[in-house]
Structure 1
Amino acid sequence: MELQAEEGLLTTSAVPRVLVATAVPAERDAVARTFPGTTGQVVAVGVGPARAAACVATALTGAARDGRPFTLVVSAGIGGGFAPGAPVGSLVVADEITAADLGAETADGFLPVTELGFGTITHRCPAALVRDAAAATGARPGTVLTVSTVTGTAARAAALRARHPRALAEAMEGFGVAEAAAAHGVPVLELRAVSNPVGPRDRAAWRIGEALDALADGFGKLAPVLEGWTSHDRHDR
């Protein structure tokens, strides 16, 4: 909370405090180019959902202990885009963050953990925030998949799209970030800049620099949205 003076009286107002979690320092630095430190904190948490979950949970616990809790967690970085909906250089904002490979392989195909009778595979992002983020940044809203093994074949890309027809992008940390945020009762958002198509690995076709620039530009436009996100909006989940 922040104390404000108004007509000689002290009042309190909720101040958004955002934790932005990227996988690697290059993504962290791209976000930090345009995202003001006064709004929150940007940290590189490592690669993969387990590492991301552990680091984000630690940061959330420490902030709460110090009396400066985060009000939103954002998973951010570059990732693969599903053609034609998310071309290289575009931005994707998640309305759902889904673990694509959490489950079991069977003779009849893949079964998500939810169909085995336990767990969860999807976290939904606040609808109003997704709308505002998409409007401000030009990002396409849709499902962002979290994978522990990056897709490298056309067959796997097709299988993922068949199971998740609204998927626009895949990355490796979002679901872990969302799990940690949910455990602390904090809403989550995910923003990805597309560096390559999901499918056969063709490193010559990757546009990492272009995607990092798009990420920085996107966060410059997203920052005012996050700063103006009200307490009422935070409960629109």
Structure 2
Amino acid sequence: MCHPFNAEAWKHFDRMYPDFAEELRNVRMRLCAHGFAAHEPFIEELLQLWHVSVRTYDHATDRAFMMRTTLMWTVNDLPAYGMASGWTTTGVMGCPICMNDTRAFHLQHGRKACYFDCHRQFLPAHHPYRRNKRAFMKNHVENKVARLRLTRDQILDQVANISPAVEMPLLLPAGYCSDHKWTKKSIFWDLPYWSTLLIRHNLDVMHIEKNVFDNIFNMMMDIKGKTKHNMNA
């Protein structure tokens, strides 16, 4: 664990935009958006803060300076991740890394999406867990190598013909659920620096832990209306 300042994503941004990095008082923001999607006025303000800058008073020096701002990344739980990125994070193609190259499946009776034993493909080639036939999928040796993360050009190519906003009533793009899970082209792509970022979306681990705890607690206590456990499940 390290401070974002010491992370490669931060250093990469400094190399890409040295004029921004030179002014240490410039602001780098992260967006925690739980339950709402970014709209055009918000993006317009970010564009202004990047291109035009804002006259700001520095109390330490008793002088004003022109401050610029950038949005470094978003931090969300998994459902909000889908809203921010445009890739729906539900169902068997809900993983934004595996995408349509997934081994997730529906449970036979409950029909819920299950990602059991989908993680071993990310382990090093000679990791002993890959050869373990008992602790994971029965009698299965994992030889698959996880797909590489898509580049910015590959992502932009996939969303090039998709609307930046979800229409109402919901009009899903062609191939949705069969070839992809894109519902929209994220409005963040309008930011001139967004395509150069190494990390655009982060998962809020603490929020996800709370969601997992709530589901387990509600199931164990059989709280009416809040448990997903039933006879089929």
Q: Which has the higher strand share?
A: 1
Calculate the TM-score normalised by the size of structure 2: 0.30
Calculate the TM-score normalised by the size of structure 1: 0.30
Q: Which has the higher helix share?
A: 1
Which protein has greater RCO, CA pairs closer than 8 Å, 6+ apart?
Answer: 1
